[in-house]
Structure 1
Amino acid sequence: MVPPLALDIDGTLTTPSGRIDPRVFELLPGWDAPVVFATGKSFPYPVALAHFLGRPETVVAENGGIAYVDGETAVLGDPAVPRAVAEEFEARGGEIGWGPGDTVNRWRETEVALSLDADEALLREVAAAADGDVVVVDTGYAYHVKSPAVSKGAALERVADALDVAPEAFVAVGDSENDASTFGVVGESYAVANADATARDTADVVLDESYMDGTARVLADLRERDE
């Protein structure tokens, strides 16, 4: 049997331009094991991806702040301090950076995400004043202000328990420091070639291929292993 998967989305299932790679719709609908989309995006995004793939909506969102499995939603992060940090950041002249509407944060329940154009030094200064109640995670796509008590890895363990599957049975693929906690709880982990230093240092294997090219390579190898 093929193993269950824990897959990041941005930088892992996408093209270099940020679009979902069409191979996702070829390779994942028929994967004969659980697939968990573990992402920094807000809750609706991975749910929608699973829906359009025709797969169970089994997701970890907001860097572990939300876990959703078998129709049950667990909110694992407290948004109060991240939102206070974002408000203080703006009060001191910082800009969240997404423009009118801010759909990046509109449905975000446990953290705040800021554009990479935001003043990182000021953001980290304001976050440091929260005395360890928040961390700033740079995913390469946004700065995420979140509780240090939540992580993708911890949320995946919760999802795995609900699925009655050992976390060590999962194979994970990712590209960013927010995937390091996932890599720490699964049995086999891969960083795509475009991954940041933390993901590369934490993964069992650093792939030669980038983005979906790397993920597709892993999926192909896992299928061959199953034959």
Structure 2
Amino acid sequence: MHPPLAVDIDGTLTDDARALDPRVVDPLRSWPAPVVVATGKALPYPVGLCEFLGLPVRVIAENGGATYLADDDDLTFHGDREAARAVVEAYRDAGYDLGWGAVDLVNRWRETEVAVNVDQPLDPLRDVAERRGMRVFDTGYAYHVTTPDVDKGVALRSVAERLDYDPAQFAAVGDSENDAGMLDVAGTSFAVANADEAAKAAAGDVTEGSFADGFLEALDRIRGAR
């Protein structure tokens, strides 16, 4: 029997240029248990991914700040976007920028957090966030200013309950510090080889392959364990 699956997008389902690897499509579509797409991206991205892949929409977005399940048609939000905005405004006042250009599509649809481009200085952002009781996730693709008690692990516990599973029944695959909570909560978890140290420390195992190669390897190992 296959376990339900929670999987990150960037760095896990993609190649090193952040393009979705086409080899992940069929394995995701054919997985015989619920698949939850768990990402730091704003809600429209994982919803769109599920729609285009033909998967039931089951998503964790914004590092746990937003969850939606087609099963119960319930959209929930956790976190304090106004507090996150206050952090980035103080960051701007100190002479820094979010780094997304004139049209900020990265934050356009965010409901619970704010993301800053990794080209911008991280230490001053973390300093401002800590002074205001907020947290910064460095995903390798963006710096996410979010509420400390919100992460993918907390969201996975909620999603599992709504799907009538124990979180320990889930298998999870990810690559970044924002996946660490999810990898820790899941009963079976893999960090792909390109993962950062936080993800590797939280995961039960680390794949030999990187990016989508690692994800496909993880699925093979999950199947083999059943």
TM-score normalised to the size of structure 2? 0.96
Which residue is equivalent to 1:25? 25
Matched, 1:59 2:55: no
- The C-alpha deviation readout for 1:124-183, integer Å capped at 9, x for no partner, is 2221221x2x10110111000000011101111111111101111100000011111001
Which residue is equivalent to 2:174? 174
Which residue is equivalent to 2:219? 219
Asked if the contact 1:180/1:198 (under 8 Å) is kept, the reply is: yes
Which residue is equivalent to 2:150? 150
Which residue is equivalent to 1:136? 136
- The C-alpha deviation readout for 1:97-143, integer Å capped at 9, x for no partner, is 0112111000000000000011212212221221x2x1011011100
Amino acid at match of 2:157: E
Tell me which of 126, 129, 132 is aligned to 2:128: 126
SS of structure 1 residue aligned to 2:11: coil
Unaligned runs of 5+ in 1: none
| Post-superposition offset of 1:225 | 4.0
Find the aligned partners of 1:200 and 1:98 in 2 and give their Cα distance: 29
Amino acid at match of 2:82: A
Which residue is equivalent to 1:36? 36
| Post-superposition offset of 1:187 | 0.5
Amino acid at match of 1:178: N
Percent identity, aligned pairs only, is 52
SS of structure 1 residue aligned to 2:22: coil
SS of structure 2 residue aligned to 1:199: helix
Amino acid at match of 1:92: A
SS of structure 1 residue aligned to 2:30: coil
Tell me which of 88, 91, 111 is aligned to 1:89: 91
Find the aligned partners of 1:128 and 1:181 in 2 and give their Cα distance: 19
| Post-superposition offset of 1:220 | 2.1
Which residue is equivalent to 2:118? 116
Tell me which of 100, 103, 113 is aligned to 1:101: 103
Find the aligned partners of 2:222 and 2:201 in 1 and give their Cα distance: 22
Asked if the contact 1:95/1:119 (under 8 Å) is kept, the reply is: no
Matched, 1:208 2:208: yes
Moved more, 60-69 or 23-32: 23-32
Matched, 1:3 2:6: no
- The C-alpha deviation readout for 1:27-83, integer Å capped at 9, x for no partner, is 111111000011100101011111111111101000000011132100011111101
SS of structure 2 residue aligned to 1:126: helix
SS of structure 2 residue aligned to 1:106: coil
Tell me which of 77, 91, 95 is aligned to 1:75: 77
Find the aligned partners of 2:221 and 2:190 in 1 and give their Cα distance: 12
State the Cα RMSD in Å. 1.0
Find the aligned partners of 1:32 and 1:100 in 2 and give their Cα distance: 43
SS of structure 1 residue aligned to 2:103: coil
Find the aligned partners of 1:224 and 1:208 in 2 and give their Cα distance: 16
Unaligned runs of 5+ in 2: none
Amino acid at match of 2:5: L
